[in-house]
Chains A and B, each alone.
Chain A
Amino acid sequence: MEKFKKIKTIVTPLDQVNVDTDQIVPKQFLKLVQKSGFGKYLFFNWRYDENENQKEDFILNDKKYQNSKILVTGENFGCGSSREHAVWALQDYGFSVIIAPSFADIFYSNCFKNGILPIKLEEKSVEKLKHESGELEVDLENQILETNSEKISFDIDSHKKKILLEGLDDISQTLQFKDKISEFEKQSKIPSVL
């Protein structure tokens, strides 16, 4: 995984609560067997009409936000299905930071496996950021968001922060504990399936 670096872009405000992963990537695009190329399906049913023409009133279709890497949205973002395709689509489209008052658990955890930083902020601050017209700088190292007019600090679990900053491969980290896993297996009461 690539290391997470400081970024500075304008924010894309998606003014909705409870955005579920069925909206982030509709089911008809879950049949691919690779991880790449999901960006074009991001918010597909909101971005395109039945003839696959862009819907003008959907925020992502506004050219102004073309180079934005920061999505600012409502509470309980990423609820519903566990599909990691939702995170692959956001990342492939170009987002690397998502800011919301709250996230659904599985989505939140999927973000860190793919180099996306989800930031939980108080609703008041999120509302303000949605209306921020200038660029926003995201500094994970110092846990600071900076607009033209203010600095906002954010919380993040130190372990998750390290994973993003160092671009760590989870599995190779875990396999260092091979002996402990074997030890655990020796005393486990739950038998094999077969």
Chain B
Amino acid sequence: MGKTLFEKIWDSHIVVEKENTPSLIYVDRHLVHEVTSPQAFDGLRMNNREVRRPDLTIATMDHNVPTNDRSLPILDQTSAIQIQTLEKNCKDFGIKLFDINSPNQGIVHVIGPQLGITLPGSTIVCGDSHTSTHGAFGALAFGIGTSDVEHVLASQTIWLEKPKSFEIKVDGKRKNPHAVTAKDIVLSIIKNIGTAGGTGTVVEYTGEGITDLSMEQRMTICNMSIEAGARAGLVSPDEKTFDYLRNRQYTPKNYENLVEYWKEHLKTDPDAKFDKTFTLHIDNIAPQVSWGTNPGMTCDVTESIPSPEDYSKDDQNQKKAAAKALEYMDLKQGTPITEISIDRVFIGSCTNARLEDLIEASKVIKGQKVSEKVRAMVVPGSQMVKKQAEEMGLDKIFTNANFEWREAGCSMCLGMNPDILSPGERCASTSNRNFEGRQGTGGRTHLVSPVMAAAAAIEGHFVDVRNLDLN
């Protein structure tokens, strides 16, 4: 029987394999950031251990960096200490760091692909659950905890039980691909399979609905695999993949030879069997807006807030969860999504802060102004995205519309830096998690695409963006 793409990458990275126990898997790329690494480096020091392969390890600071003027000192002392700690750790252990003043600084999952560090067929780990993003390039990429960060630093390997394989086929063509985006596809998937639908699996996204997407859109899809519970999500690499990575700053010298090899090897065999499958037809899907406190609590922009009964389909636990979510979100069943007013807009995060995202959002706001009731900000995913956007004049489009134009970082996706919601504030956000308090204690998050976020900023509420002229 043939093998899936995931199985091929898995098999080619086994260092030690024994029956009925986890396998020792080799790690080709280890990405490190300031929040989940300090305790790992401490562990190495305590045990007199070295970093085995500093040349496969790359660090940057993204989670808690301020996004205002970079020449100002960091006011939050605990953040400053965490950032200094990463600088010291990288220096002590010989690891390449893109620090706060580097032109390559940015969200770790934005800079990896942008610099050609992410490669097809490779294994990539990072102490961050959205590492699944890199799967868009046909890499097996997943998040790990700090103990495993230490383990990978020391050994360049990780013990893993082999996950199951899960094919999510995205069939059909969107009628309006500017209004119905990759974000809407992945939110639809999570809405259908649930936040634990992918637990214990590695997802391979297949079908016309995926091959049609650009690399940046595929990253949006793979990024949110973890929100469906999957350890990783990946897409078989094709010409778009190889073109994207060609001539980047860290693209390997023997790249064309690698491409030849990848073309031959990085495909699921026609006779391979997945452990699980799900198909989403996207011909008629609508723009999505989350209404609850997990990404599965999502509906079409044309719908109304569901009742806990309708949402839960008779599952008492889910019904309770939905009622709690509506209370937290201060929403009533039956309210049309387009009547929900917002206070804040955040365009950013490893899900949706790449150049294409900013281009698409800018089309909506060109020549318009942000609603007076709304405070809106754009946080580019990396300093390089920011620079490219500025070269295109996008910053002017945003600032002329009264958006704040910031420096790169994770920012209000998780609110570890000063960019947070105040209690009770409601935000249209292009990020990935709408958990209670995620963007600020008491804050209320609605997950949407960049286009929807931009439209909501102008109108002050959600709108069916299919009615806008976006071409």
Contact = CB atoms under 8 A, between A and B. Distances in A.
Whether chain B is bound by chain A comes out as yes
Interface of A: 15-18, 20, 22-23, 26-28, 30-35, 45, 50, 74-76, 79-85, 87, 102, 104-106, 109-110, 113-114, 157-159, 170-172, 174-175, 177, 180-181, 184-185, 188-194
Interface in B136-168: 143-148, 150-151, 154-157, 159, 161, 163
A171 B47 contact: yes
B195 A18 contact: yes
A174 B128 CA distance: 22
B436 A159 contact: no
Given A177-B16, A181-B24, 19 more contacts: A16-B321, A22-B438, A31-B78, A33-B82, A34-B38, A34-B42, A35-B42, A80-B433, A81-B128, A102-B196, A104-B229, A113-B147, A158-B20, A174-B157, A175-B154, A181-B155, A191-B253, A191-B254, A193-B250
Contacts of A23: 435-437
B28 A188 contact: yes
Interface in B411-454: 414-416, 423, 433, 435-438, 441-442
Nearest to A79: B195
Nearest to B230: A105
B343 to A, nearest CB: 18
B24 to A, nearest CB: 6
A192 B57 CA distance: 9
Interface in B319-370: 320-321, 324
Contacts of B114: none
A171 B150 contact: yes
Interface stretch (B117-125, B204-212, B281-289, B389-397): B117-125
Contacts of A16: 320-321, 324
Contacts of B122: 190
B159 A170 contact: yes
B436 A45 contact: yes
B386 interface: no
Interface residues of B, number: 84
B426 to A, nearest CB: 18
B119 A110 contact: no
Nearest to B414: A27
Given A30-B35, A170-B147, A180-B16, A190 B119 contact: yes
B173 interface: no
Contacts of A157: 20-22, 161
B26 interface: yes
